[in-house]
Amino acid sequence: MGTVVTIDIYGGEGLQGDETYRRLGHARTILQRADTVFSTWKEDSPMSRLRRGEITREQAPAEVAEVLDLCAKAREVSDGWFDPWAMPGGVDPTGYVKGWAAQCARDALVSTGVSGAIVNAAGDIASFGGMGWAQPFRIGIVDPFSPGQIACVVELTGAIATSGAYERGDHLIDPHSRRPAARVASASVSGYDLGLADALATAVAVAGEPGLACIEQLEGYEALVIRFDGTMRWTERFPLASPPSTARPRTASSR
């Protein structure tokens, strides 16, 4: 996956050291396995070999078929704005697999002695619970025009992913034109599952404000975009913890 993942676990007196380390070890194994299988930077990874036509989908590890099926569903629900099959060099599920792996690692951490945990994959977050019992996490969304600053704060109850060209340049591809495109400065999507949220954030960043309509139709997923003029739009139930620090208009939701 070519990125840094951090894990934070919170708990009270019921948190057992040995059990926590065992679960952390399992989560780490999941992330390392995902990198081994799906990395497009490693020439000998199954994903790289599949892209070159050296193996078939059936010959690849089972999780490759699982992720590609999930990518196909994400392509459908995003009206084609997320499409790993439209990427240069062949199918590239990177826009899904990072969130999918972090979500799997998050699932490995769930325990009765843990009040909450965060798996942070380069700013895309899978979580459960909070810092204490009945204390949900609060996550800042980066200001794309000043990455050292926070644009707004979200009260997180699951997963959130943000996509934009402000850090990595023109890496977002419009599946319809096959050319780099980002129609908003950044797009954030919250929901139950980080794999799908990650894919949808990419889709909305490429589609721009019309991508919000796709998210409006999905149960349990919400989105916020920051325009190039610095103003924001978001879906009706996007979990803002408080209004943005600067005056930015909200448009009426179609829900």
Query: Residue 111 corresponds to which tokens in the numbers above?
Result: 């325990």
Going 105 to 108 to 110 to 114, the CA torsion angle's sign is negative
pLDDT per residue as tens digits for the range 165-186: 887 667 899 999 999 999 999 9
Going 126 to 131 to 137 to 139, the CA torsion angle's sign is negative
The SS3 of residue 30 is helix
Cα 157 from Cα 51, distance rounded (Å): 36
Q: Residue 253: is its pLDDT beyond 50?
A: no
Phi first, then psi, for residue 106 (nearest 5°) are -60, -45
pTM of the model: 0.91
The residue type at 28: R
Q: What per-residue confidence (pLDDT) applies to 169?
A: 63
CA contacts within 13 A on the Cβ side of 101:
30
Q: What per-residue confidence (pLDDT) applies to 13?
A: 59
CA contacts within 13 A on the Cβ side of 43:
0
Domain ranges of the chain: 5-234
Which CATH architecture is the domain 5-234 placed in? Roll (3.10)
Alpha helices for the chain (secondary structure H): 17-38, 46-51, 62-77, 94-109, 194-207, 211-216
pLDDT per residue as tens digits for the range 26-74: 999 999 999 999 999 999 999 999 999 999 999 999 999 999 999 999 9
pLDDT per residue as tens digits for the range 114-149: 889 999 999 999 999 998 777 889 999 999 999 889
What angle is formed at CA 206 by the lines to CA 47 and CA 154, rounded to 5 degrees? Answer: 95
Query: Residue 105 corresponds to which tokens in the numbers above?
Result: 């690692």
